[in-house]
Amino acid sequence: MGAPRNLWIRWLRMVVSPLDYDYAAKRIMSFIRDSVKKAGAAGVVIGLSGGLDSSVTAVLAVRALGRSGVTGLILPDPETTPVEDVRDAEELARSLGITRFQIDIRDILEAYASSLPFYEENRIANGNLRARIRMTILYYYANISNRLVCGTSDKSELLLGYYTKYGDGGADILPIGDLYKTQVRELARRLGLPKKLCEKPSSPRLWPGQMAESELGMTYEEIDEILHLYVERGKSAEEIVEEAGISLEKVRGVIERVHRSEHKRLPPPIARVSKFTIGQEWRMPWSLG
């Protein structure tokens, strides 16, 4: 009984106390190493956007696997990707000493536009298409090089559903998926990332001028406080308003996003016609092997 109780107490302390960033970094690096080993893979491939999340993920992956175990793919679209993002991604890859490839996805987008009889100028559909094109390139490289696709989504994005299903949400592992955006930013500082990366505003870059906080209508400091109080502490919307001093409209907006995006966090539902439905009665232990 002693060991399980100690594990429970340790988990409880992590929930109610400030994050132990040294422990979190070590745990994430161990997770990356174990995942690669279980899969019998040669390493990981990461999409480098020049932003906060992918930069932190890349640094932790290199510390876990060494330079040879990590490849970075920089996949800009000139219409939506600022030049400085590409430059930041290149600089990070050079500083880490990892193999990197830069591939302009514009021609692939244009091939879709010219090949699909039902193609139209739909901002959301075409933005998601950009994310899914990047996912297919990452998986192609992963297949030919025996690597895992290392996703870069954080806990805030996962809970909000603020990512493209089968796009940037498509990955084999999500090392920083249990860190809120504000925690990722603080971890970046502690890892010694350049100030411009630590302070760079978040953006999926799915269409020109897209910025995360503007689109979401609040700061990540507000979002993360709402998510923590709602998801981890089980507070109601009214209790969150009272405790955090954030407007009811914002609180309800975040909660609605969490509920509306649940389908993104689950495998596709299966129509049950037997006694042993995959994912319900029949499950296998987690393994990448």
- Residue range 154-175, pLDDT digits in tens: 999 999 999 999 999 999 999 9
Mean per-residue pLDDT for 7-30? 72
Mean per-residue pLDDT for 204-228? 86
* Per-residue model confidence (pLDDT) at position 284: 67
Asked if 134 and 167 touch (Cβ cutoff 8 Å), the reply is yes
Asked if 93 and 74 touch (Cβ cutoff 8 Å), the reply is yes
* Per-residue model confidence (pLDDT) at position 275: 85
Instruction: Find the range with the poorest average confidence among 101-115, 119-133, 162-176, 262-276.
Output: 262-276
CA distances from 231 to 18, 19, 157 (A): 16, 16, 14
Nearest to 49 by CA among 215, 223, 202: 202
Which are the contacts of 70, defined by CB distance < 8 A and separation ≥ 6?
43, 44, 45, 46, 58, 61, 62, 96, 98, 99, 150
Instruction: Find the range with the poorest average confidence among 25-29, 141-145, 213-217.
Output: 213-217
Instruction: Find the range with the poorest average confidence among 123-127, 136-140, 186-190, 216-220.
Output: 216-220
* Per-residue model confidence (pLDDT) at position 153: 97
Q: How confident is the model at residue 18 (pLDDT cuts 50, 70, 90)?
A: confident
Give CA–CA dist 125/164, Å, rounded.
10
Mean per-residue pLDDT for 66-83? 97
Structure token pair of residue 170: 């498509």
Burial, 56: exposed, middle or buried (Cβ in 10 Å; 0-12, 13-18, 19+)? buried
Which residue has better confidence, 202 or 190? 190
Residue 205 pLDDT greater than 90, yes or no: no
Q: How confident is the model at residue 288 (pLDDT cuts 50, 70, 90)?
A: low
Mean per-residue pLDDT for 6-20? 53
Residue 21 pLDDT greater than 50, yes or no: yes
Question: pLDDT > 70: what percent of the chain?
Answer: 91
| CATH hierarchy code of domain 21-206 | 3.40.50.620
Give the sheet arrangement for strand 99-102, strand by strand: 99-102, 70-74, 43-47, 147-149
Give CA–CA dist 249/148, Å, rounded.
40
* Per-residue model confidence (pLDDT) at position 232: 92
Which are the contacts of 12, defined by CB distance < 8 A and separation ≥ 6?
none
Residue 3 pLDDT greater than 90, yes or no: no
* Per-residue model confidence (pLDDT) at position 287: 61
The amino acid present at 177, given as its one-letter code, is: G
Q: How confident is the model at residue 207 (pLDDT cuts 50, 70, 90)?
A: confident
